[in-house]
């Protein structure tokens, strides 16, 4: 048995430099909402094709726009991770403009969509960031995530993950996907590193202009 197999989840978390998230079922609750596209978006075939390229679904009878719901707590968690020097990435099978917009809003370092074979994206990020598998944490919920979870340094399952995914995880977040599981993962890692409290204080200070001039 390799020595790494005996490491606790906390020991694994202390080594993490890159934190990766699946999207559907992790940063969302897994729901995918489809709405008819506005008439303005369907005025030409070119518009319909463009919509499909951005993650919508084009049908013979018209086009649909895909929407997803994200949790604000996860966004704050990403901010905390980046403040602590941890790079953050998203790896998802689906292609969605909603994911692109949310990733930009959260200032995610890496965004890989359309990834049916997620290890290819992971290997690219390893090369870009100069990290090893042992320094990568991955948060997943379904069997498509298992190839990465079985080899990464810290495999995290959300509370709503499939049984096979929970069995492969080193740690299971207390919250289900789309309800703060991403934040759970960040706080677990930062707590293991011993920097959670100071990172939260730094986050507060950066958003409190002049706070240092006041006495508590």
Per the annotation, binding residues for substrate are: 24
Look up residue 52 and give its two tokens: 């499909």
Distance between CA 41 and CA 63 in Å, rounded? Answer: 9
- List of E strands, 27-177: 33-36, 57-59, 62-67, 87-91, 110-112, 136-140, 154-157, 171-172
Residues 6+ apart with CB under 8 A from 143: 162, 164, 165
Residues in the chain: 216
CA angle 112, 65, 35 (to 5 degrees): 140
Q: How far is CA 196 from the centre of its chain?
A: 19
Q: How many helices (H) and strands (E) does the chain have?
A: 9, 9
Residues 6+ apart with CB under 8 A from 131: 17, 18, 87, 125
Annotated binding residues for Mg(2+):
22, 141
Annotated binding residues:
22, 24, 141
Task: With beta carbons less than 8 A apart as the criterion, state whether 32 and 178 touch.
Answer: no
């Amino acid at each position: 048995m390799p020595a790494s197999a005996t490491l606790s989840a906390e020991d694994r978390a202390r080594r993490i430099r890159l934190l990766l998230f699946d999207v559907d079922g992790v940063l969302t609750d897994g729901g995918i909402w489809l709405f008819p596209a506005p008439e303005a978006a369907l005025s030409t075939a070119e518009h319909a094709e463009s919509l499909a390229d951005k993650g919508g679904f084009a049908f013979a009878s018209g086009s649909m726009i895909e929407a997803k719901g994200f949790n604000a707590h996860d966004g704050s968690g990403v901010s905390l991770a980046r403040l602590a020097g941890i790079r953050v990435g998203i790896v998802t099978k689906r292609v969605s403009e909603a994911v692109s917009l949310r990733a930009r809003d959260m200032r995610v370092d890496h965004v890989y969509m359309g990834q049916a074979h997620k290890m290819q994206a992971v290997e690219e990020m390893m090369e870009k960031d100069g990290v090893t598998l042992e320094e990568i944490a991955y948060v997943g919920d379904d069997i498509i995530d298992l190839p990465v979870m079985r080899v990464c340094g810290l495999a995290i399952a959300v509370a709503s993950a499939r049984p096979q995914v929970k069995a492969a995880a080193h740690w299971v977040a207390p919250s289900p996907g789309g309800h703060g599981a991403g934040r759970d993962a960040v706080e677990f890692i930062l707590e293991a590193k011993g920097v959670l409290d100071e990172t939260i204080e730094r986050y507060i200070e950066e958003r409190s202009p002049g706070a240092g001039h006041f006495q508590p």
